[in-house]
Chain A
Amino acid sequence: MDIVRVVDELVCTRRVPGLGQASLRVVRSAQGVVSVATDPVGAPVGRWVFATTGSAARLAMPDPTCITDLTICGIIDQWDDEAAAQPAATEQRATGSGPGAGKG
């Protein structure tokens, strides 16, 4: 799944019947790639979310016949913008962590 940020809502009245009434969001990845995702969650603008791609995106919709290839699956509770923008700066090797360490 991709980690992306909701940047805007997208209104699209004239659409193919296969898309149904699915709400759409404009999302942007940390690398700056802009895409459109269907949103069964109701993610607000500005939040970081994770989105599934490909055929799994259709299964993530309430109606699996929906024509989509990117669907928001959940809102990430906490995501550090700085870490997402500069992955190398926060890189640290996690060694010596015992069994179950860091499991939520």
Chain B
Amino acid sequence: MKIMRVEKTLVSTNRIEAFGHRPLLVVQEKAGGARSVAVDAVGCVPGDWVICVGSSAAREAAGSKDFPSDLTIVGIIDHWNPEG
């Protein structure tokens, strides 16, 4: 699992049917780092530090084994110090 920070929401109207209406968020591993898109399974807001799962665990965490996600947010970290 990876510790990432939610940057903003991502709006995509034209998407494949398998994604349904699941919320998508832009996440970063560190400030100024490379961006990824994650499916939000918990309901977080920009600025939250979260834990993300990848690979097949991401599919199951997003709802079903057939969901085509490779990165899913599975938890919001209560307290996180990025420098420590």
User: Which A residues contact B (CB, under 8 angstroms)?
Assistant: 1-3, 30-31, 40-41, 50, 52-57, 59-60, 64, 71, 73-78, 84, 87-88, 91, 93-95, 97, 99-104
Whether the Cβ atoms of B47 and A93 lie closer than 8 Å is: yes
Q: How many residue-residue contacts, CB under 8 A, span A and B?
A: 106
- Interface digits, B39-57 against A, CB 8 Å rule (1 contact, 0 not)? 0000001110000000110
A64 to B68, CA, bound (A): 10
Determine if B58 is an interface residue (Cβ-Cβ < 8 Å): yes
Whether the Cβ atoms of A56 and B69 lie closer than 8 Å is: yes
- B36-84, CB < 8 A from A: 36-38, 45-47, 55-56, 58-59, 66-71
In this complex, how many residues of chain B approach chain A with their Cβ under 8 Å: the count is 36
Whether the Cβ atoms of B69 and A52 lie closer than 8 Å is: yes
On chain A, the residues within 8 Å of B9 by CB distance are 102-104
B9 CB, nearest partner CB in chain A, Å = 5
A40 to B8, CA, bound (A): 26
A8 to B15, CA, bound (A): 19
Whether the Cβ atoms of B68 and A56 lie closer than 8 Å is: yes
